[in-house]
Chains A and B, each alone.
Chain A
Amino acid sequence: MDCDEVSRLLDAYIDGELDETARPEIQKHLDSCPDCREEADRIAGFSSLVRATLPMYKAPAELKAKIRASLREASAPESHWLFRLRRPLIYAAAILVLGFVLASAFRTYGPHRNQELISQAIANHACSLMVDHLVDVTSSDRQIVRPWFNGKLDYSPPVADLAQEGYTLVGGRIDMLDKRPVAAIVYRHGSQVINVFVWPVANRKIDLDVQSDRGYHFCGWNQAGLNYFCISAATAEDIEKFEDEFRDHLNL
């Protein structure tokens, strides 16, 4: 191999991306050619300089919010179904039939169980606002609220610090839901109180899109083995945003 050929393959050689057949030949050439050796050192040295010092741009904070908003729009049920319907007609028909079957099955078996949960959650939420029993531990510090649950529950509910996003942690208490004691974590957003109930996924996972009942908005999801149910008199959009932020903090 002469210097020209080596020069063409030198970057790949340094990056360890060259196949085994060509490597020994380059190595042999480098051993005997000081010029190419020097060039190899320059390439490697410059590559590490770039990695170490090239400035990185950080995404502006508002971009995440914008993306979330457009994803909410994109994942709205209408566009979702339209998207599915672009597939060949025969599949569309099959999916529709299946959809009806599932929908009627869901109507028969699904909502009743959820309805019970929702009614209980609404009652808990309303009760927490009416009597002077919003929280058993009052603190905006998650380091205080989280340990408070220790020993009172057989699991440890995560408490997110969302102060920067505009949700002030008020505190926590124990409530009954889904036939068991659960953690209730309380936030305040403007004039609205948000209750987040957290309990382990035992035999069913909660997955509820934002819904409204008796003037409250609520939604539920499951994450890392725990069910979450948040409820407030805030708008549907506010609740969805809250879910986004809360989940985001759990992913960190």
Chain B
Amino acid sequence: MGDERRRFDEIFLPHLDAAYNLARWILQNDQDAQDVVQEAYIRAFKGFHGFRGENGRAWLLTIVRNAAYTWFNKRASDQKWVPYVEEKHAEIISIDQSASEHRVEKQKEDLRGALERLPPEFREVIILYEIEGLSYKELALSLGVPVGTVMSRLSRARRRLREEFAQVKTRRAANGL
């Protein structure tokens, strides 16, 4: 194994969970996310000589989201939009949970359901900003758009997520769960 490969492993393998989480949220499917992350690591390795030692996590995540969109475009022609199916995301809650744990679990599940309802460009900006903590500037580089666009996209994504979250909650309350 060469030194280059070792340096690559040391910098990028620790970010595997972040890479997978992003791909999984964009693609909403385990197998696709795995394929895309694998492809992204190969791309990253082949472009490693262009890496200047800046934020490795942001650099890798950019490649992951680009690989995810390549995947989207490739599949777009032969795949129809699949409507959201409630049962598929139904959550199994064990009965012996304490009341507060129960509430937190429900909130998690509601939030997951709400984010799943957003379009992918909103999902990714939420993950990259709120979870991965990229700055607006890093987001602009990663998404390939001006900072002004980042500003308005993140703002709209948050608003939509908040609305969906409220709706999911209301619906659950109406169902008496």
Interface residues of chain A, those whose CB is within 8 Å of chain B, are 8-12, 15, 17, 42-43, 46-47, 49-51, 53-60, 63-64, 66-67, 70-72, 74-75, 80, 83, 207, 209-210, 219, 221, 223, 240, 243-244, 247-248, 251
Contact = CB atoms under 8 A, between A and B. Distances in A.
B59 interface: no
Contacts of B162: 42, 46
Interface of B: 1-6, 8-10, 13-14, 16-17, 19-21, 24-25, 30, 33-34, 37-38, 41-42, 45-46, 104, 107-108, 111-112, 115, 126, 129-131, 135-136, 151-152, 154-155, 158, 161-162, 165
Contacts of B33: 57
B80 to A, nearest CB: 25
The 9 tightest CB contacts between A and B, nearest first, are: A59-B20, A11-B155, A57-B24, A17-B136, A75-B5, A57-B21, A50-B130, A59-B16, A67-B41
Contacts, number: 124
A215 to B, nearest CB: 21
Given A60-B34, A243-B1, A67 B130 contact: no
Given A49-B111, A55-B108, A66-B34, A8 B155 contact: yes
Given A8-B152, A10-B155, A12-B136, A59 B17 contact: yes
22 contacts: A11-B155, A17-B136, A17-B151, A46-B158, A50-B111, A50-B130, A53-B107, A54-B115, A54-B131, A57-B25, A57-B33, A63-B16, A67-B41, A71-B8, A71-B45, A74-B46, A244-B1, A244-B9, A247-B6, A247-B9, A251-B9, A251-B14
The winner among A46, A56, A58, A67 for most chain B CB atoms within 10 A is: A67
B158 A47 contact: yes
